[in-house]
Structure 1
Amino acid sequence: MDVGVFVPLGNGNASPEVLRAVGRNVEDRGFESIWVPEHVVLFDEYESEYPFSPDGKFPGGGDTGMLEPLTALTYLAAVTDRVRLGTGICLVPQRNAVYTAKQVTDLDNLSNGRVDFGIGVGWLREEFEAIGVPFEKRGQRTDEHLAIMKALWTEEVSSYQGELASLSACRMYPKPVQTPHPPIHVGGISDVAMRRAARLGQGWFSWNQLPDEVTTSLARLDELLAGEGRSRRELVITASPYFNPTTPALMEQYAAAGVDRLVVLCLAFDVDMLNEQLDALVTDVLEPANALT
């Protein structure tokens, strides 16, 4: 089982010094991947419910702030050589599909094919309103935006016509290094998210689930994959315990459940704090995971 790190980068740690240390020190310690989140704006007060906390509140105030993920990953690509670089999670329906496709393919080229494109539909209605994008039909918009992106990544002359989005015949170059395109990892534990993963994903990303919950979700995913004429062998299964503790015993359970990659939280505000957390994760997570193989 591979081990990656989920590193929120934003207000409080969005400095070149910290980013260089994240890239180099995560890679040097042997972690497989780095994942960064996305929110362009946050709020002091909001009515939307965050799906991954008991009280429905995002674990940070309106001043938390986050670096734009593809910008942050491009910086990390420049200071690393091997570690994979993932969006965890890119909020596809509130973005421009063409610019996002361009950012992803440029990052894939500059990193020599190390991009994992984690995607989701978003949960924060107020953020959509701030951007001027409808919150309704965001699932359908996600599917149509992904269709545009895949056309741009894989077709010499790209075009698409949908109900909510369209693309006139055009060319986008260079194409991604990874073929046919960077893997799409669908994030979310809802039935709708798993249906999307079964239909078009190269991976499924579970958030905040313990091993027994992952087992239940994967049983459902197997059913959905069979309905699409696919099997779990075609997907990479990623799980992030998020704020749940990770012990060697739990890691064995994640592996037994069928998890291919465990992504653990690393929240640090300076280089010393980062190194302390990474060293602890090496001892508590990475070395036990390596012992499982």
Structure 2
Amino acid sequence: MPSSSPIPVGVRLPLAGPEFTPSALLELSRRALELGYETLWVGDHVLLPEKSSSVYPHTVDGARPFRADTPWLDPLLQLTWLAGALPTARLGTSVLILTLRNPVLIAKQLATVSWLTGRPVSLGVGTGWLREEYDAIGVPFEHRATRAKKAIAEIRELLARGRRDYSVRGADDEPRTTSFLMAPTAPAPVEFLWGGFSPVALRLVASSCDGWLPAKQSPEELEGHLRRLKDACDDAHRDFDELKLVVKPGPGPDPRAGGIDKDSLAAYAELGFREAILEMPYDTGGLAGAVATLERVATRSWP
């Protein structure tokens, strides 16, 4: 059923595991769409250390709210699977850790998703917080915002044109510039939504992205970030009103970070946000508990 909330609401799906087998994830996704949620969002980690000195930025005590053996599915494969089963669902990542991956391979995956599904993808992207994950994969943790900006430009070029020049070694082992082709290109739009709110992140949104998808913040904190984002857009000669703003009010990994109801959605709409994401708690109570959460939020958010 369609919702009548001030702005659309999507769902970041729970993580896979014994309580959320493929059939349970699919059933929860179907139920969310029936209740009026519009976009299915999925998160991302590649691998997790059993012990870590990195500070998790989204809880009060800095401790990550999930164990190292928590299953994280590959987000683009999961979205492709969901698209095949749910032909009306909108799809998004919240968020893909962009700089853990080769941008050419991401472009190929996105073009494939776009070609197979014919549907837009809202690609929430970020650079993550877990230094040990970068070390294990063998990519540098430092200067990742600069690399992210270059990666977004490279992916956009490949998705749109299917052509880009790269430096390769010739027969004499000397570097030379060669034009490469990538097919298919992406027939459906892929929008980039940046997930951070640091000064560097806001400048990246203004210069390189289609929108902003910050981690959970209070409305008061968001107002301050929005003022700084508008200033960044002015500096980049970018029209702030072009940006798609997506908010994650909660509940989620830290339940103290807010909630979703008609009043809060109206307040977020007033700030300029165009969509909200319900982040399912890591401890959902299984399929029944997750469905109950969806129903409870829907009841208080739209008739």
TM over 0.5: yes
CA apart distance, 1:281? 2.0
Q: How does 1:184-203 map to 2 (within 5 A)?
A: 184-203=192-211
Judge conservation of contact 1:70–1:104 (CA < 8 Å) in 2: yes
Contact 2:135 / 2:141 at 8 angstroms: preserved in 1?
A: yes
- Where 1:207 maps in the other structure, the secondary structure is coil
Instruction: Provide the identity percentage.
Output: 32
Give the conservation status (yes or no) of the 8 Å contact 2:12–2:279.
yes
CA separation of 1:24 and 1:114: change in aligned 2, threshold 3 A: farther
Give yes or no for the alignment of 1:57 onto 2:59: no
CA distance in 2, matches of 1:263, 1:87: 11
Do the aligned residues in 2 keep the contact of 1:105 with 1:175 (CA within 8 Å)? yes
Gaps of 5+ in 2: 1-6, 168-176
Residues of 2 paired with 1:207 and 1:265: CA distance?
10
Paired residue for 2:214, among 189, 192, 206? 206
The answer (yes or no) to whether the contact 1:43–1:61 under 8 Å persists in 2 is: no
Paired position in structure 1 for 2:263: 249
Whether contact under 8 Å (1:186, 1:197) holds in the other structure is yes
Deviation at 1:66, TM superposition (A): 0.7
- Quote the RMSD (CA, aligned, Å): 2.0
The aligned runs of 1:1-293 (5 Å cut-off) are: 1-159=7-165, 169-178=179-188, 181-242=189-250, 243=255, 244-246=257-259, 247-267=261-281, 268=284, 270-285=286-301, 287=302
TM-superposed deviation, 1:214: 1.2
Tell me what 1:164 maps to: none
Aligned CA distance change for structure 1 residues 257 and 160 (closer, same or farther; 3 Å) = farther
Q: CA 1:22/1:102 → structure 2, altered by over 3 Å: closer, same or farther?
A: farther
SS at match of 1:117: strand
1:189–1:217 Cα contact (<8 Å) kept: yes
Distance 2:148 2:178 in 1: 18
Give CA deviations for 1:125-150 in whole Å, capped at 9, x if unaligned.
00001111111121122122222211
Aligned AA (1:75):
W
Q: What amino acid maps onto 1:102 in structure 2?
A: K
Describe the shift of the 1:255–1:156 C-alpha distance in structure 2 as closer, same or farther (beyond 3 A).
closer
SS of residue in 2 equivalent to 1:219: helix
Cα deviation for residue 160 of structure 1 reads: 5.2
| Distance in 2 of aligned mates of 1:101 and 1:17 | 29
Q: Distance in 2 between matches of 1:172 and 1:53?
A: 41
Deviation (angstroms), 1:43: 2.5
Contact 2:83 2:117 in 1 (8 A): yes
> Which structure 1 residue ranges, 5 or more long, are not aligned?
162-166, 289-293
Q: Displacement of 1:168 after TM fit? A: 5.0
| Larger deviation, residues 58-67 vs 124-133 | 58-67
Quote how far apart the aligned CAs of 1:199 are.
0.5
Q: How many residues align?
A: 281
Counterpart-to-counterpart distance in 1, 2:291 and 2:227: 37
